[in-house]
Amino acid sequence: MAVPSLELAPRPHPGTPIPPPPVPSRVVPGLPVPTLQPPAGPSEARLPPGPPTAAAEQVRTAGPPPAPPRWRWWLEWVAVVLVALVLAFGVRTYVAQMFYIPSGSMLPTLQIGDRIVVDKLAYHLHAVHRGDIVVFARPPLEHADYADLVKRVIGLPGDTVSSVDGRVYIDGKPLAEPWLPTPEPVTSPSPVAQGFSLNHPYTVPAGEYFVMGDNRTNSEDSRYFGPIPADLIVGKMAFVAWPLDDSGWLVVLSAVAAALVVAMAVVALRDRTRSRSQRAVLLRGPPVPRTP
C-alpha cells in the first residue's frame, strides 16, 4: 500500500510576520461586491461624494481673506482720538483742572509760576475744611485781572474771625496755622471800611467762607473783598503739578500707566474683532456663482 508523500512548506525566516489566514468571502449572487476605500482626509470629509463642484474647488483653492481696507484702520484711530478728547473735556469740566499761579499771595506755600491741579469733585463728597487751599472765581469786590484766585480757607460759616496783635483768632481763640512760615507774618486788618476788614471781629455769614493768602503782608483776600459764597468755589487744590513733588510724580506715573492700559485694551479689542470677522469669512466660504 502506497503512502502519500507530505510536502512540507518552507519555514519562514525568524522575525518575518505571519500573515493572517484568508477569510472566506460570502458573495451573494446578483449583488455587487463591495470594495474597500481608504478613509477620507479631514479636508475631504466635509465634501459630498461625487465629482467636485465649482464651489468645492473654490473652497479648496481660496487663500486667506483679504485684509481690511486702510480707511477702516484710520477710522478706528480717529474714533479712539475723539473718545479721548471727549473724556479729557469731561475730566477738565467735572473732575480736575490745572491752574497757573501768577502772583505771590500764597508764598511760601505756592511759588509764582507753579501749576496746581484742582479737584472739582472734592466738595461734592465732603464739606469745606479749615486750612483747605481753594480756587474760586473772582468775587465782585475784587478788581484784579485774574478770572480765578487761590487762597486758604480760614473762617467757616458762623465763625467769628478777628485779628489781635497780628494773629488770627476764631471765636476768641488763637488759630494754629502750621502752614505759615517761621516767624509768622503779621496779619493786619485792611484799610477798607466794611466789617470784613477785621478792624473789629467779623462773623462769617451762612454759606460763605473767609479766605486769606499765606503771604499775609502781600495778599488781597477776604479782608479786602469779603467772604466768598460757596458757589464761587471751583475746587480744592489736590497737588502741585509743576514742579513735581513726590505726590505729583506718583499721580503722573499712575495716569501714564492708566493711559497705557486703555491703549492696550483698545488694540486688543480691535484685533479680536478683526480675527472674528476673518474667522466668519473662512467658515462662510467664498460666494457660489449663480448659473443662469
**Domain layout of the chain by residue ranges:** 98-253
CB burial class (10 A; 0-12, 13-18, 19+) of residue 149?
Answer: buried
pLDDT, residue 157, reads 98
pLDDT over 90 at 65, yes or no: no
Residue 44: pLDDT over 50: no
21-35 per-position pLDDT tens digit: 655 555 555 655 555
pLDDT of 53 over the 60 cut: no
Cβ atoms within 10 Å of 232's Cβ, excluding its own = 17
| Residues 146, 139: Cα–Cα separation, whole Å | 11
Cα dihedral 244→247→251→257 (10° resolution): 100
At 248, is the secondary structure helix, strand, or coil?
Answer: helix
Residue 43 grid coordinates: 479636508
**Confidence label for 70 from pLDDT (cuts 50, 70 and 90):** confident
Indicate which residues carry an active-site annotation: 105, 151
Burial of 10 (0-12, 13-18, 19+ CB in 10 A): exposed
- The pLDDT tens digits for 145-180 are 899 999 999 999 999 999 999 999 999 999 999 999
The model carries a pTM of 0.61
pLDDT value at 286 more than 60? no
Identify the architecture of domain 98-253 in CATH. Answer: Ribbon (2.10)
pLDDT at position 243, please? Answer: 81
pLDDT 10s digits, 225-277? 999 999 999 999 999 988 876 555 566 666 677 767 777 777 777 777 777 76
* From 38-52, 123-137, 192-206, the region with the lowest mean pLDDT: 38-52
Specify the pLDDT at position 67: 63
- Nearest residue to 132 via CA among 109, 113, 112, 115: 109
pLDDT class for 6, splitting at 50, 70, 90? very low
Question: Which of 98-107, 213-222, 258-267, 282-291 is predicted with the least confidence, judged by mean pLDDT?
Answer: 282-291
